[in-house]
């Protein structure tokens, strides 16, 4: 048996050991590679989980958090070609050692004298009440007056035009004369200007769909078919088209516009059983206080062309790429929105609270300057000077801080996205310092869109693309009424009753800003 045993030589032993070492080394490298991959997967999983937690926190804040954007702080509190010395690091730390907290304070009303008096312009129905019993041996020594505000449902009535006919006594000359019937909003139709105005205001101001308005007619025993009511509304809106076209032409010529867009579902769609996603493009002129809604089937770059293709001046918007492309034109100065920049940092509170709070404090200081300008009632030049003195150093300091911090955060983290949003648009965000008539944010145009958002929850969609554009006309004109504090029902009644007799060049006289209550009809 021993004759079969092979005795390894020294060289063979060394060779075998070397092979086994190589195999062991290969296994170790494989294990290290697997551990490295596992660690990378764990880090990726942790980032995904952190991102999901952040999204959940944002959704919870949207559902259950406060809806207002202002936060409590010190109310006293890219670069432009204006340069000032930034605050020292020590001054900066002292200035921004504050915590963002959300506080709801009860509004105090000093010297409150009780209930406000009832309006003087309302009609009064007097009801006299005497004591019961025999008053023949008594004398009245005074009276006590108690008032209450009362109402009756909308009063429908019939306006009957009776036109008398006259003819010559000898029946031989001049023919027959008859009183001329006033121009009517709908030729041979039964609705008057006031009724049509009420229908449009109920739908586009008070967000009451037409089918619900029909129920109100039925309660008053006025049978009107749904298709008839739809037709009335459509024809009344068509009467406003000439006024809308004048507003559109004037909006193109504005030197400062704020712009935003909002979606609307349209029943007319090439896909069977599906609604088309259309868009309202909204243009607000802060100086003239006008607003223009323009419907377009898409949100792409061609949509704003008919308004902004020849636009020159200041264009203020959010960070949507279509606006940024327009802002690169030589004759356009693109302005950013600090409210959008702040929202990005607000979303980062759960991700990096320290950095997010620091940025939000600086932005809060910028808005404190705006409040100071409003409280003092400063003219545009005064507001510009105040901004250069107070806001410019804050902007320079915030910009320097973002530049130093952006390399230290993960680009895909929420705080990284917030910093990148502001850094990319720094010149646009700082641009409002150029002129005192410019606004710090785009909130004014967003406010004009809110009625659309409320109405959309009630009527859900429009029937056709043409119907969506008709609605854009009404939203534009009634939105301008709101900006000028004009009663929309009175204004619209006046316009519908007079627009057919108004000469083309005199159409701008019908704008809400030119309307007075004395012009109201019927």
pLDDT at 468 over 60: yes
Cβ neighbours around 413 below 10 Å, total = 17
> Distance between CA 476 and CA 234 in Å, rounded?
16
- β-pairing, 461-462 vs 256-266, is parallel
What is the per-residue pLDDT for 517? 66
Read off the pLDDT of residues 270-302 as tens digits, 9 standing for 90 and up.
Answer: 777 788 889 999 999 999 999 999 999 999 999
For residue range 185-238, list pLDDT tens digits in order.
998 889 999 999 999 999 999 999 999 999 999 998 999 999 999 999 999 999
d(C-alpha 408, C-alpha 336), whole Å: 25
Is 77's pLDDT higher than 50? no
Are 412 and 334 within 8 A, CB to CB?
Answer: no
Q: Do 432 and 444 touch, CB atoms closer than 8 A? A: no
Which of 429, 253, 450 has the alpha carbon at shortest distance from 334? 429
**Cβ neighbourhood burial of 239 (10 Å; 0-12, 13-18, 19+):** middle
Predicted confidence (pLDDT) per residue in 370-392, tens digit: 999 999 999 999 999 999 999 99
Rounded to whole angstroms, how far apart are CA atoms 477 and 496?
Answer: 13
pLDDT at residue 63, rounded to an integer: 66
pLDDT at 311 over 50: yes
Burial class (CB in 10 A: 0-12, 13-18, 19+), 73: buried
Torsion of CA 107, 111, 112, 118, to 10 degrees: -130
295-305 per-position pLDDT tens digit: 999 999 999 99
Please tell me the number of Cα atoms within 13 Å of 42 on its side-chain side: 6
Compute the distance between CA of residue 280 and CA of residue 456 in angstroms, rounded to an integer: 12
- 98-122: average pLDDT: 62
> Which helix (H) or strand (E) is 92 found in, with range?
helix 89-95
Does 92 score more than 70 pLDDT? no
Cα dihedral 492, 494, 496, 502 sign = negative
Of all helices (H) and strands (E), which one includes residue 5?
Answer: none
Q: Which two tokens stand for residue 144?
A: 């006590």
CA distance 400 to 362: 12
DSSP 408-427: GS-TTSHHHHHHHHHHHTHH
Q: Per residue in 326-360, pLDDT tens?
A: 999 999 999 999 999 999 999 998 888 999 999 99
Confidence of residue 81 (pLDDT cuts 50, 70, 90): very low
Question: How big is the CA angle at 486 (ends 482 and 491), to the nearest 5 degrees?
Answer: 115
Tell me which DSSP letter residue 463 carries. Answer: S
Q: How confident is the model at residue 102 (pLDDT cuts 50, 70, 90)?
A: very low
């Amino acid at each position: 048996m021993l004759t079969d045993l092979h005795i390894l030589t020294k060289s063979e032993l060394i060779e075998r050991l070397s092979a086994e070492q190589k195999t062991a080394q290969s296994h170790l490298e494989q294990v290290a590679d697997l551990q490295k991959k596992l660690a990378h997967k764990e880090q990726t999983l942790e980032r995904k989980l952190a991102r999901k937690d952040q999204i959940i926190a944002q959704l919870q804040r949207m559902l259950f958090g406060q809806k207002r954007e202002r936060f409590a702080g010190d109310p006293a509190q890219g670069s432009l070609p204006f340069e000032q010395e930034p605050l020292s690091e020590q001054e900066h730390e002292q200035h921004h050692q504050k915590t963002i907290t959300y506080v709801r304070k009860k509004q105090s009303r000093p010297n409150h004298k009780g209930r406000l008096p009832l309006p003087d312009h309302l009609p009064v129905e007097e009801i006299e009440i005497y004591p019961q019993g025999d008053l023949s041996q008594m004398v009245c020594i005074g009276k006590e007056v108690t008032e209450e505000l009362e109402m009756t449902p909308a009063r429908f009535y019939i306006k009957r035009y009776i036109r008398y006919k006259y003819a010559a006594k000898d029946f031989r000359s001049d023919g027959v004369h008859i009183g001329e019937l006033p121009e009517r909003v709908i030729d041979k139709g039964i609705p008057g200007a006031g009724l049509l105005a009420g229908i449009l205001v109920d739908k586009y101001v008070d967000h009451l769909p037409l089918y619900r308005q029909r129920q109100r007619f039925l309660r008053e025993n006025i049978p009107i078919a749904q298709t008839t009511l739809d037709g009335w509304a459509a024809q009344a809106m068509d009467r406003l088209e000439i006024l809308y076209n004048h507003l559109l032409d004037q909006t193109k010529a504005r030197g400062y516009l704020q712009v935003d867009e909002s979606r609307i579902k349209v029943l007319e769609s090439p896909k069977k059983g599906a609604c088309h996603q259309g868009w309202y493009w909204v243009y607000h002129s802060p100086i003239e206080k006008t607003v223009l809604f323009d419907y377009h089937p898409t949100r792409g770059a061609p949509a704003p062309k008919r308004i902004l293709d020849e636009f020159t001046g200041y264009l203020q918007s959010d960070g949507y790429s279509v606006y940024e492309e327009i802002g690169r034109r030589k004759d356009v100065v693109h302005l950013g929105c600090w409210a959008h920049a702040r929202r990005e940092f607000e979303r980062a509170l759960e991700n990096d609270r320290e950095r997010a709070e620091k940025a939000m404090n600086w932005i809060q200081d910028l808005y404190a300057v705006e409040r100071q300008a409003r409280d003092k009632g400063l003219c545009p030049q005064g507001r510009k000077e105040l901004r250069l003195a107070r806001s410019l150093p804050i902007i320079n300091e915030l910009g320097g801080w973002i530049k130093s911090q952006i390399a230290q955060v993960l680009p895909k983290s929420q705080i990284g996205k917030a910093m990148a949003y502001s850094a990319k648009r720094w010149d646009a965000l700082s641009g409002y310092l150029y002129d005192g008539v410019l606004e710090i944010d785009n909130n004014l145009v967003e406010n004009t869109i809110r009625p659309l958002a409320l109405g959309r929850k009630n009527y859900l969609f429009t029937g056709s693309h043409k119907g969506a554009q008709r609605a854009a006309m009404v939203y534009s004109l009634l939105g301008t009424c709101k900006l000028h504090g004009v009663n929309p029902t009175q204004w619209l009644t006046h316009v519908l009753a007079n627009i057919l007799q108004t000469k083309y060049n005199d159409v701008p006289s019908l704008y809400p800003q030119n309307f007075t209550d004395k012009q109201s009809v019927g």
